[in-house]
């Protein structure tokens, strides 16, 4: 713990925020969509842009395991395989761009992507019309590349992939199961790229991630059993406001 604190210059409030972020990631993977949007700008403020994605990715993978275990039977593999190759293309596009820009530009790109994702999340909930979203290969290609880029740069591809799956008219369990498998596969694909190309995952970051594993597990449990009691509208607007403020702070 001392080594991690000295490596990242973490204060007690920083640790509290990291543990809270781990809980929110667990919740987001097991039935509370959108809450992870708060995590991305928060970790970017603590660790910096590119480094924060290296801290967050193993947390996401551990949370993905809980989601896949719980919803593994409900994946719709046809829609999954249609989007995955394009998402991989988006990963490599983001990998190249992320290698060229500095950390300040990286943080601002995260902020921009977060704001776009918030707009998509609001549109999905309040302005979405099924007939406006075509079930075509080019639609899967566009959202796959966009989602792959967004998940590599800022780990905020949830609203983008949600729009793709809404176009497929999946039932609730198929929607959650397909999402769980998609991000599990994509996040595992990102891991070696960030280790060997961006070099923002190390033994220090992995140790930090393992320390917060209990918080991830608690968040996953809480997401399944308790968060359904929160009023949907209140919760969503709280997420939007907190995330917007956090993303805005990245620019300053």
Where in the chain are the domains? Answer: 2-250
Three-state DSSP class for residue 210: helix
H-assigned helices in the chain: 2-8, 12-29, 36-47, 49-71, 77-100, 103-126, 137-154, 158-167, 172-193, 203-211, 213-225, 232-250
Contact 164, 147 (CB under 8 A): yes
State residue 216's pLDDT score: 93
The candidate with the shortest Cα–Cα distance to 177, out of 89, 96, 86, 70, is 70
Contact 89, 144 (CB under 8 A): yes
State residue 115's pLDDT score: 85
Mean pLDDT by 10 residues, the chain (252 residues): 63 94 88 76 91 94 88 82 94 91 86 83 67 68 90 84 77 79 94 94 94 93 72 65 70 66
């Amino acid at each position: 713990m001392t080594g991690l604190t000295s490596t990242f210059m973490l204060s007690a409030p920083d640790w509290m925020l990291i543990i809270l972020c781990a809980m929110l990631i667990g919740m987001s993977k097991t039935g509370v969509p959108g809450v992870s949007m708060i995590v991305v700008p928060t970790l970017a403020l603590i660790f910096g842009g590119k480094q924060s994605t290296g801290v967050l990715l193993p947390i996401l993978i551990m949370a993905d395991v809980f989601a896949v275990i719980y919803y593994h039977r409900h994946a719709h593999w046809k829609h999954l395989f249609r989007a995955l190759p394009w998402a991989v293309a988006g990963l490599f596009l983001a990998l190249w761009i992320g290698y060229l820009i500095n950390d300040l530009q990286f943080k601002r790109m995260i902020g921009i992507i977060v704001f776009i994702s918030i707009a998509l999340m609001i549109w999905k909930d309040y302005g979405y019309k099924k007939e406006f979203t075509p079930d075509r290969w080019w639609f899967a290609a566009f959202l796959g590349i966009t989602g792959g880029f967004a998940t590599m740069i800022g780990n905020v591809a949830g609203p983008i992939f949600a729009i793709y799956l809404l176009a497929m008219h999946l039932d609730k369990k198929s929607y959650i199961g397909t999402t769980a498998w998609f991000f599990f596969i994509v996040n595992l694909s990102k891991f070696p790229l960030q280790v060997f190309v961006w070099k923002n995952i190390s033994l220090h970051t992995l140790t930090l991630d393992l320390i917060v594993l209990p918080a991830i597990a608690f968040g996953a449990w809480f997401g399944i059993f308790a968060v359904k009691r929160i009023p949907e509208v209140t919760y969503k607007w709280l997420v939007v406001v907190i995330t917007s403020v956090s993303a805005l702070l990245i620019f300053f």
